């Protein structure tokens, strides 16, 4: 296999760590993981690769342009995969400034560093270079029940400070590609789920609350619809885009698994009833509690991944029911990973149901 030098930003986060594990276990890549290690990052998610010689980690902030410049010119990457971002909608509503700083200014800094680094490369190295930006379907706004899923041509209509900041970063990447000819690509993904998912998000929050016999919060009527993508398949899709996709293109990555939030929560409860039945409850569904909806809550996201399928022969293959049971089982058997998080931050107390 070809050995590429890949710099990953945000590689200690949920999607980032899945990508790093994929790159080390499934490819011959040399990987530098650059992560600020904010509250949602966890190096324990990378224990399986920590001792591999092709993997290295540096704690650094993408907003520190001088530090990024040093890292680029020292590591000499051929590919940049940019995942570092603040991503929790509720947190963005309560405190948008961090999202503006990290998601917009941080992306700008990386693009400027990448531009200077790229201009220094000889022509053969330039031909190998790629800056890939990982974004979200939330930049498109929301859909009604009968609307066609988001395509790459769908107009941007972000609803929250989080999605607005990601939309801005997408625009910056496109501008640096068009104006400065920096070889860039973008992917916009649907909701990810799987092992190592931070406990403030809907699926892990539901699992952990249920295991503790705590209330399982569901926003509003629970009929918001999301498309769910198994995180390990997303990692594979990112690599396919970075290595085979066209410069200047955007690719939507979806799981083809639309479910309402309440369907997801009830499915988790059914799996727990089977795998770890409660001694005091007839079903974990008794813990479901509907709570006040968040401001500007999008009703439906759905991704059309046909471009990715037609151009790069990639489509999601993990059925949601199988991926969800695998995820629930993982959380049951890996309390050593999530227990320190909820004990130190009580992430499930204030935040959660982030979909």
Give every CB contact of residue 353 below 8 A, 6+ residues apart in sequence.
202, 205, 217, 218, 219, 261, 291
Query: Exposed (0-12), middle (13-18) or buried (19+): which is 105, by Cβ within 10 Å?
Result: middle
Cα dihedral 230/291/199/68 (nearest 10):
80
For residue 54, the surrounding DSSP H or E stretch is none
* CB distance 268 to 228 below 8 Å: no
* CB distance 132 to 7 below 8 Å: no
* CB distance 65 to 109 below 8 Å: yes
Catalytic site residues? 137-138, 162
| Angstrom distance (rounded) from CA 62 to CA 105 | 9
Comparing C-alpha atoms, which of 73, 138, 64 is closest to residue 301? Answer: 138
Angle at 148 between CA 228 and CA 136, to 5 degrees: 40
Q: DSSP letters of 112-132? A: HHHHHHHHTS-HHHHHH-EEE
| Angstrom distance (rounded) from CA 199 to CA 288 | 17
| Angstrom distance (rounded) from CA 253 to CA 150 | 10
Pairing mode, strands 225-230 and 258-260: antiparallel
Q: Where are the alpha helices (DSSP H) in the chain?
A: 14-26, 65-75, 89-94, 96-99, 106-119, 123-128, 161-180, 202-211, 231-244, 261-275, 306-312, 320-333, 335-345, 347-350
């Amino acid at each position: 296999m070809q050995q590429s030098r890949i710099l990953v930003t945000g590689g200690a986060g949920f999607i980032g760590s899945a990508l790093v594990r994929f790159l080390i276990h499934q490819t011959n890549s040399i990987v530098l993981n650059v992560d600020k290690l904010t509250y949602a990052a966890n190096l324990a998610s990378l224990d399986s690769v920590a001792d591999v010689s092709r993997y290295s980690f540096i704690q650094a902030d993408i907003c520190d342009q001088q530090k990024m410049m040093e890292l680029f010119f020292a590591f000499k990457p051929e590919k940049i995969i940019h995942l570092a971002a603040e991503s929790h909608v509720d947190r963005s509503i309560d405190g948008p400034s961090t999202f503006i700083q990290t998601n917009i200014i941080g992306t700008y800094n990386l693009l400027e560093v990448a531009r200077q680094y790229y201009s220094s490369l000889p022509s053969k190295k330039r031909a190998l270079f790629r800056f890939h930006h990982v974004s979200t379907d939330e930049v498109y706004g929301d859909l009604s029940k009968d609307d066609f899923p988001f395509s790459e041509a769908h107009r941007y209509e972000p609803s929250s400070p989080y999605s607005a900041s990601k939309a801005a970063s997408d625009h910056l990447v496109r501008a640096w590609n068009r104006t400065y000819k920096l070889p860039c690509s973008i992917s916009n993904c649907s909701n990810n789920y799987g092992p190592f998912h931070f406990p403030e998000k809907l699926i892990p929050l539901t699992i952990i609350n249920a295991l503790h016999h705590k209330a399982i919060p569901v926003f509003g009527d629970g009929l918001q619809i999301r498309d769910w993508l198994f995180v390990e398949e997303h990692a594979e899709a990112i690599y396919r885009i970075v290595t085979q996709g066209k410069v200047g293109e955007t690719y939507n990555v979806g799981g083809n698994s639309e479910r309402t939030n309440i369907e997801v929560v009830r499915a988790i409860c059914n799996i727990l009833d089977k795998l770890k039945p409660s001694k005091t409850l007839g079903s974990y569904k008794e813990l479901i509690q509907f709570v006040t909806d968040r401001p500007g809550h999008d009703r439906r996201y759905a991704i059309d991944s046909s471009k990715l399928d037609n151009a790069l022969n990639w489509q999601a293959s993990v059925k949601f029911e199988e991926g969800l049971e695998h995820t629930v089982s993982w959380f049951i058997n890996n309390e050593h990973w999530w227990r320190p998080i909820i004990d130190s931050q009580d992430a499930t107390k204030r935040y959660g149901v982030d979909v």
